[in-house]
Amino acid sequence: MTTITDSPLAVDFCGMHFDRPLVLLSGCVGFGEEYTRVKGFSNRDAGAVCLKGTTLEPRLGNPPHRVYETPDGMLNAIGLQNPGVDKVVNEILPTLDFGETRFIANVSGSTVEEYAQVTRRFDDSPIDAIEINISCPNVKEGGVAFGNDPEMSARVVAACRQATRKPLITKLSPNQTDIAENARRCIEAGTDGFAVINTLMGMAIDIESRTPVIGNNQGGLSGPAIKPVALLKVQQVYQVCREYQIPIIGQGGVTTAADAIEFLIAGASAVGIGTALFYDPLVCRRINQGISEYLQRHQLASVTRLTGSLRLNVPGQYRCGC
């Protein structure tokens, strides 16, 4: 792909060159084509695009309602609707312009074996990297999400590592006890990078019918409401990642340049944009401009100088969160 080698916004992520530090998140841009119909939109405004979650076989997804707007956020329970990995590789990938940006596949599954099979199929494709969505339920373990247990997370990463030589990015769930320990186990299992965080689980209720609004009863909460949680999780994972020089895509509620800069300072090397795209498809251009202005104002030659630059306060006498 064409690169802007001297751009202050350029970053290297898992051996890939991104012209911009922004990544369009999985589930928000379909298979890379949804926003190309919007006047003024360009994939070049992002360093990479994460494709929609893909499973071994086609899936119809969950019953409606699948999406519900909340104060400062959105609940969704799409249920991984997708045409299956064979169709994605054979029919969709050939339509993408790999000279325009990087494309990252998102792999999902109900068993460790399915994750490995889908990863192996993408390994034999032009895809640039593979993101592992370990927030899926493990059907062999009573439906517990792979990502909520460090041992299961590591097993999925290890299986995918054996199935590909492409960069592996593990998408970590915030719905777990110790995200830093999970990250450490995934690094030991072979991940090359992380996406932090996936959605928080939430619910909305129709008070007239006294039933959940979401057809699946619960869904993933995204948008500005989760940003403080996401920032903390990025900072916690960064404490582990800096030991191994493992990069992070920080994500969760980013709508402005200031939001993106916060994630970089907390430890992210790149920043994911998701929910904001639904109401402002051209948000990436504005965020890139804001980051550029910040770098100029602070006399920083590169956005990489921001990563992990957080100056923590010295702990005082009181240690509670009150």
76-95 per-position pLDDT tens digit: 999 999 999 999 999 999 99
Of 131-145, 231-245, 294-308, the one with minimum mean pLDDT is 131-145
Tokens of 280: 């402002």
Tokens of 287: 């965020």
- Beta strand 168-172 with 193-196 is parallel
**CA distances to 74, 223, 226, 257 from 71, in Å:** 8, 9, 11, 21
> Is 1's pLDDT higher than 60?
no
Tokens of 36: 């190309």
Domains of the chain (ranges plus CATH)? 11-306 (3.20.20.70)
pLDDT in tens, 187-229: 999 999 999 999 999 999 999 999 999 999 999 999 999 999 9
Per-residue confidence at 21, pLDDT binned at 50, 70, 90?
Answer: very high
Which residue in 14, 28, 50, 136 is the catalytic one? 136
Per-residue confidence at 173, pLDDT binned at 50, 70, 90?
Answer: very high
Q: Can you count the helices (H) and strands (E) in the chain?
A: 8, 16
pTM: 0.94
pLDDT in tens, 27-47: 999 998 777 767 777 778 999
> Is 3's pLDDT higher than 60?
no
136 is catalytic: yes
DSSP notation for 201-258: EE--EETTTTEESSTTS-EEEESGGGHHHHHHHHHHHHHHHHHHT--EEEESS--SHH
Q: How large a percentage of the chain has pLDDT more than 90?
A: 86
> Is 276's pLDDT higher than 80?
yes
